Amino acid sequence: MNMNIDTERLITEVRLRPSLWDLCCPLYKDQDARIKAWQEVCQELIPNFNDQPTARKRLQNNKCSRGGKLHETPIRDARLH
């Protein structure tokens, strides 16, 4: 899948979810909360994200759970394929 992600929209979606970036947020250290937040971001930015096969979602979610760094996010992964 090859797609372009609107960088400004990505930044906006991440800013709306402090668990992804705010060290003072109680959910920042909660891995499940961060995975959920990345899933929400993906649902907003990737067309038909919820319709993707479970295995692909699992792979993308595992990438998020390794720290949520931008180069490991499902958004970046989706753009490369």
User: What is the pTM for the complete model shown?
Assistant: 0.64
Q: Kindly report, residue by residue over 18-57, the tens digit of the pLDDT.
A: 999 999 999 999 999 998 999 899 889 888 888 877 746 6
Instruction: Say if residue 2's pLDDT is above 50.
Output: yes
* 75-79 mean pLDDT: 55
Q: What is the pLDDT of residue 74?
A: 55
Annotate 45-58 with b (16+ C-beta within 10 A) or e (fewer).
Answer: bbeebeebeeeebe
- Of 2, 10, 5, 9, nearest to 80 by C-alpha is 2
